Chain A
C-alpha cells in the first residue's frame, strides 16, 4: 500500500482516528507521518513504534533462553509480555524491569531521569532534591537578569536546604 500523502513510499504507519464521528483510517509512510506529527497523535492505537521496541525485543529474546522467567509480582507479567503488549501492565513493571526499560526511554525521550513535579507519596529527600533543582534554576535566571538581591536570597535558601540534607 502506498502512502496516502506522497503516493511514493510504502505506507508503514496506519492511523485510526475518529474525525467528525466517523472512524477514519490513514496510511502514511514514516517520513510523512513524522512530518505531520502523527507519531504522537494517537498513541493509544499506535503504542510504540517497532524501532523503539527493537532494543526491548532483543532483551526479551535473551530472557526466554534462561530457564527462570522473572515476573512482576503485582500483575504477573514477564518482560516478554510487556514487549508483546507494547505497554506496561502495572506501575510496578517499571520497578521490576527498570534496567530493561532504559534503552527504550533513551530512544523516546533522549533522557532517562525524571525532572519536574514530585508526587506527594514520594520520599522527603526526592522532594528536597526537586526543590533544590528549581531553586538553582531560579538562581541562574536571577544572575542572568542581574537581580543580585534575589540571587543572594536564593543562595541562602539553597545553602539551608543542602545543610538539612546532610544533617
Chain B
C-alpha cells in the first residue's frame, strides 16, 4: 500500500532522482496578530481552536502533539524527517503539531504564522501533494476566517511569503552532477526561474550525500499551478542531465570500484559518523539505481533519514553522545544493508 508509506520509505515517480515532494501553505487568522506578537494565553487559545476544528475533519485523521510534551531530541527528529521546521523544534512553547499517522500531513500551529500545513510524499508528485494540501486548506477555510487581501493574497508575517503563501519543494539526489562539479552552475540558474537550490544536509558547496532541495521562491503574481509547473519542469531538467551524465559515469571501473568499496565499508564498519555514512550512502544509492548493487533505493532513503543524530536518539530512547551514536549507526546500517 503505497499510500500508507512514509515519504522516505516510498520510491515514487522519478524515484531515481527525486526522493520526495513537499508542499507547505501558510495561513493566518484574520484580525489576530501573528504568533510572535501574542501572549501565552492567546497562543493557547489558537492552539485549542485549531485542534477542535481539525478534530471534526472527516477526510483527515490528524493527531495533536503538544510540542512541549516532547523530549528535545524527539522534536529535532521530526525536523530531521522534514515534518516541521528547525525553529518549530527549537522553540516549542505554545506550539502544537497536527500529524497524520503516515506523516504525509503535518500542520504546525503557532509557528511564524498561525497555521503552516504541509503534505509530503515520495518521488515527484507536485499535483498529488498540492491536491491534498489544497483540500486540507479548504477544510480549515470552511470554519476559520483567513487573513486574505484581494491585492496581496494570503497575509503572512513575512512579506516574502505573501500571495499564494505556498512553498513547494523537491528533495533531489544528484551524485553525478555533484561529482562533476556542475551543481553550483545549475543552482545559479534557478533564481531566474523563481526557484532556489540548497543542499539538504551540511553547509556550503559540500552537499553531504549529494542531496539538494529545490524550492519555489516567488509567491506573488504567480498562481500555485504555475509555480508547481516551474518547479516540476526544472526538476525534470536536472533529472535528465543527471541521467545523461550517469550513463558514462557509472560504466567506469573506477566509479564501480568506489561504489562497491562504499558498500563494503557500510556493511563492515563498527563506527560510522554521519558524514562518513552520507558520503558512502550516496555512492550506494547510485549503485542501486544503476543496478550495480542489489540494494533497494528506498532502503538507502530510509537510512539517510533514520540515521541522523536525533532520530538515532529516538531509536535508542536516550540522548546518546556522538561516539555512542557512531556505534549504533554502524550497527543499524550493517543490519539494514544485509537484509
Cα A95 to Cα B151 in complex, Å, equals 10
Q: For residue B17, give the distance in angstroms from its CB to the closest CB of chain A.
A: 18
Contacts of A123 in B (CB 8 A): 150
Q: Is B162 an interface residue (CB 8 A)?
A: yes
Range of interface residues on A (Cβ < 8 Å) = 35 or more
Total A-B pairs, Cβ < 8 A: 198
Stretch at the interface among A61-69, A110-118, A147-155, A159-167: A110-118
Interface of B, helix, strand, loop or mixed by DSSP: mixed
Known pairs A21-B73, A118-B148; A74 contacts B224 (CB<8 A): no
| Contact digits for B159-177, partner A, Cβ 8 Å, 1 yes 0 no | 1111110100000000000
- A19 contact from B112, B201, B218, B223, Cβ within 8 A: B201
Q: Is B89 an interface residue (CB 8 A)?
A: yes
Cα A97 to Cα B185 in complex, Å, equals 39
Q: Is the CB of B163 within 8 A of A109?
A: yes
Q: Is the CB of A115 within 8 A of B146?
A: no
Cα A112 to Cα B157 in complex, Å, equals 16
Q: Is the CB of B158 within 8 A of A117?
A: no
Cα A109 to Cα B150 in complex, Å, equals 17
Q: Is B149 an interface residue (CB 8 A)?
A: yes
Q: Is B31 an interface residue (CB 8 A)?
A: yes
Known pairs A21-B73, A41-B198, A87-B159; A112 contacts B151 (CB<8 A): yes
19 A-B residue pairs with Cβ-Cβ distance under 8 Å, sorted by A, are A15-B203, A26-B204, A35-B188, A36-B197, A87-B159, A91-B32, A98-B151, A108-B159, A110-B221, A113-B220, A114-B149, A114-B164, A115-B226, A116-B163, A117-B164, A117-B224, A119-B141, A119-B146, A137-B223
Chain A residues close to B by CB (< 8 Å):
4-5, 15, 17-24, 26, 28, 32, 34-45, 47-48, 74-75, 87-92, 94-95, 98, 101, 104-105, 108-123, 126, 133-134, 137
Chain B residues close to A by CB (< 8 Å):
28, 30-34, 36-37, 73, 76, 79-80, 85-87, 89-90, 112, 134, 137-138, 141-142, 145-164, 166, 184, 187-188, 190-191, 196-199, 201-205, 213, 215, 217-226, 274, 308-310, 313
